[in-house]
Structure 1
Amino acid sequence: MLVQIPSISDAVDDRGRLYKVFNIYIGGHYHCSLRYSHLLHFSQELGRNFDTSGLDEFPTKRVFSLTAAQLDERRAGLERYLHSVCQDRVIQQSDMLKEFLVAAQKASSGVTDEDVSMEIFLINGNSVTISGQSFSRSDEVLERAVVKIGADPSLTYYFSLFLEEETGDGWTLYRHLQDHEAPFVSLKTVNSNGSFRITVRMSFWGPEMVSGVLADEAATNLLYIETIDHITKGEWEVGKEVKEKLAELGAKSLKKEYMETASTIPQFAYQQMEGLTFDHPSEDLHGFARIGRREIVTYTTEGEGEWGGAQGHGVRCRSYQLTRIRCWKVGYWESGEKWLAFHYHHGDTEEDFVWVRLVGKATIFLTLCIQSAVNELIRIKRKQSVRLPSDGSQRRKTALPIVKFHVSSQNTGSRRESEASQGSEVTDGPEEVDSAHQLPGLECNCL
């Protein structure tokens, strides 16, 4: 989970009091804005409930007023702290963290806490409508959607919720909805022009996982319509004989047999990421990538590399095995425009490890896919089963009250501007003044 705090904003609470909040982005998307006291209280609660000895130090509360440079230092320290919190596997999976982040999203969004109806789409355009609360978490919404679709609840976490965007080429994946957010709010935040929707998609990577679903007709249908979508769009490479057999099975509506055959496709369950620029095996290559459980495959019509068969003749491809990636890191890359870049350290042998860079709008989604694929490999190696739905009794509602407020402006200054204004003083109270920010450095994660 990539956490960033790129800026600081003015905020006004319900009593008209003005103070500063830190704008928190998760996975490259705005999530919430919180003041220092909210985060301090949260860190204290974490310390009472978890072993936090491995976390970055929480920025100290200062007795005296802060200069603008010190406020920016606090921003950077909070970013490091939150990133370390979200990298801790125990805390990351806890309901305490998820409920806190949903509460923060609630306070920042201005959305009313009320009963709502949500339309959840299937890949073929059909949909089901479920009832819930505007701040129901993604896992709660998914569990209700799977029941409404008619699938066995035990198969819920073979699937996930995603935001899709309507483009000139139809509906395309925008991002994966995580358990720390409320789908109703996340959709409302981006859907001002009505071009987004929430869909249910498969969330596993290995073809052997298909056998666990085929006994259930509704769940099999979900896999079936998504598989047809991937094949129709040319996102999976399918041999002529297999394609003919699939067409025959599809014409007879033999969905179980269709999925058994489709799961033999080498690129079954791969996700395709469009509009990427990468620097290996040569600089400034443009194309796309496909992510599977065991590999990243880049495709381009430029440069050098092995010939592949994707999207017609003349497309070159190069495969990078996930088991040969030592670590990866995410940071900003500037080349005319500012993008998030995904770097990974890969080598086919111990002597030829190189850093490979992928840049584009899909960078964060790409990293989430890779982490998900690796987590599945680890789970299978440990012989752990797929997550089962909760009855809700174990979910802990946050005991951390967050005052509702309205964010009135956002700081966009540069680091140089911040350094030029170091004489300005701020405090922890309502009279804090704005501070510019410095882009965070690269964060490294071992696979």
Structure 2
Amino acid sequence: MIQIHIPTYQTLIDKNDPYTKITVFDIHVNGAYHASVRYSSLCTLHEKLIENFGFRLSGPEFPPKRIWKNLDAKALNERREGLAKYFQGLITIPDVSRHHLIERAFLEYQVSSFSPPLQTTSIQIYLPDGHPIKVECYSDDSSNVVLKKFCRLMKIEEKNTDFFGLFLAKDREEKSNGMISSVLFDYVCVRWLKNFESPYISLALVNKEIEDEKKQYKILVRRIVWDSAVEEQQLHEDPGSLKLLYLQALNDIQHNFIDLSAKTKEELARLSEQNDFKKFMQICHKHPSYGFEVLESVISDYPAENTKCCFKVGRRMIVLQYVHDGRLTQALLRSTRIRTWKISHTDAISKKSQMTFQIEYVLGSGIDIMTFQTNQAVLISLFLQSIADEILRDCRSESPTTYKFDDTIHTKVISNLNKSKENSVIDDNLSVKDENGSDKEKLNPLFQIICHQMPFENETFEFITDNDL
């Protein structure tokens, strides 16, 4: 997670005692409502983190407990602001924000807030061609659990699961071709489902007030590989992964997202009829327009104010397409030249809030600041973070990063925290010990939130040069 804010709080009736009122804080994660959580539950998580991380848990202080349980509006707002600053600071610590304690706690917050029936259910995960795959799961299964179940159904090797992701998507309003919209499956990704949430619950929440089924969001599976060389090395020998890549490439071709000559299209059509997916993908890799996630259009101040641009992310770069002097022009922004990026929004509560995504781009000896008005700023940030991780893995010639933590550090405060264990939202059995008890080499931060309040500013690729590509 890269963004947490708590814009509001509310008073509810306790589910277990209709005569008791409780105050809950509305937590938004990565730009979307996540859960409404009591202060006591958040405090218990804080205590668990102290037990596990000790002095490494730096940043803003957790809002203290009060003698009087019934707080007035001013005190509740102060607590809300304090909680927001605490969690915004918390996610700037890489080994804390990636730790399973955080993921498990936020998953439990969502499940507890939504209160779904904890029984076997099913969700539809759509392939790139629009074909739905029914996945049997539990309502409290996390995104990674659901993704692994989907990959088993598709016969994708387990080692390749991390090269795909689940996304909430909606029907693309701006059609990229002249065909009837119902002929082709044309959905645009709006949110990347992460492991701190349940896909079943997140989908139900986003569709809660949408009565028209045609306008409802769906869960899509998409590749999250940003270099065709990595894709070819890792996935082409896995039939399940190869089939998924083929379906996504075919859908992109049908929507003219990949610029191909008539001769190449004929050759690809022949290979498609022969089910020669490997050769099909090898030809696609040779075209520079392959491998991009096409998002919704943005309003940019580059090259001029209020320029409407088609926004693409792929091949470790951002591509802007816009009309300039009557001609379709495109600008290529290499990811390794993006010095920092920043997310901000005008109104955290309004449904019509406008977000902006700003980057500092290195041009020669100078820096150019570009600002884009888009409500997909968080998704773009996650894509850039994923690109950074891929570059780092490539530089180290390692498999997808496995994060390990040194949880053997004990502090004097542990004895003072034992009294809170019985009310913990997280079971003690969840604490993870380092496999060999030794200190692990710290990774250089690729993604960092600079300030504790919005806007969030992030530094990336600081330790990567052009020679690493």
Question: For the superposition of Structure 1 and Structure 2, which TM-score range results when normalised by the shorter chain?
Answer: 0.7 to 0.9
Shift of 1:440: 4.8
Kindly indicate whether residue 38 of structure 2 is the aligned counterpart of residue 35 of structure 1: yes
Shift of 1:191: 2.6
Kindly indicate whether residue 315 of structure 2 is the aligned counterpart of residue 285 of structure 1: no
Deviations 1:141-198, CA, capped at 9 Å, x for gaps: 1111101112222221121111222356432223211111111111111234332222
Aligned residue for 1:185? 201
| 8 Å CA contact retained: 2:321, 2:331 | yes
Instruction: State the alpha-carbon separation in 2 of the partners of residues 330 and 122 from structure 1.
Output: 30
User: What's the TM-score once normalised by structure 1's chain length?
Assistant: 0.81
Aligned residue for 2:425? 401
1:118 is aligned, of 123, 134, 154, to: 123
Shift of 1:128: 2.7
Deviations 1:311-341, CA, capped at 9 Å, x for gaps: xx8222222222112211111147x963111
Q: 1:399 to 1:382 in 2, by over 3 A?
A: farther
Alignment of 1:120-139 (within 5 A): 120-139=125-144
Instruction: State the alpha-carbon separation in 1 of the partners of residues 144 and 244 from structure 2.
Output: 18
1:97 is aligned, of 93, 102, 120, to: 102
Deviations 1:209-246, CA, capped at 9 Å, x for gaps: 22221112222110000011112212233456544443
Aligned residue for 2:463? none
Q: Which runs of 4+ in 1 moved over 6 A?
A: none
Between 129-138 and 117-126, report the one with greater CA deviation: 117-126
Kindly indicate whether residue 107 of structure 2 is the aligned counterpart of residue 107 of structure 1: no
Kindly indicate whether residue 333 of structure 2 is the aligned counterpart of residue 329 of structure 1: no
Aligned residue for 2:249? 227
Aligned residue for 1:61? 65
Instruction: State the alpha-carbon separation in 1 of the partners of residues 308 and 172 from structure 2.
Output: 20
| 8 Å CA contact retained: 1:134, 1:184 | yes
Shift of 1:118: 2.4
Q: 1:164 to 1:374 in 2, by over 3 A?
A: same
Q: 1:267 to 1:90 in 2, by over 3 A?
A: farther
SS in 1 for 2:333: strand
Bigger relative contact order (CA 8 A; separation at least 6): 1
Deviations 1:116-138, CA, capped at 9 Å, x for gaps: 12222212222332322110001
Shift of 1:360: 1.7
Instruction: State the alpha-carbon separation in 1 of the partners of residues 22 and 71 from structure 2.
Output: 14
Instruction: State the alpha-carbon separation in 1 of the partners of residues 134 and 143 from structure 2.
Output: 15
Contiguous gaps of at least 5 residues in structure 1: 305-312, 389-397, 403-438
| 8 Å CA contact retained: 1:210, 1:259 | no
| 8 Å CA contact retained: 1:333, 1:359 | no
Aligned residue for 1:10? 11
Shift of 1:78: 1.3
SS in 1 for 2:295: strand
Instruction: State the alpha-carbon separation in 1 of the partners of residues 82 and 364 from structure 2.
Output: 38
Q: 1:102 to 1:343 in 2, by over 3 A?
A: same
Alignment of 1:134-149 (within 5 A): 134-149=139-154
Q: 1:23 to 1:291 in 2, by over 3 A?
A: same
| 8 Å CA contact retained: 1:22, 1:33 | yes
2:231 is aligned, of 206, 210, 214, to: 210
Alignment of 1:216-365 (within 5 A): 216-238=238-260, 242-302=264-324, 314-333=327-346, 338-351=353-366, 353-365=367-379
Q: 1:8 to 1:99 in 2, by over 3 A?
A: same
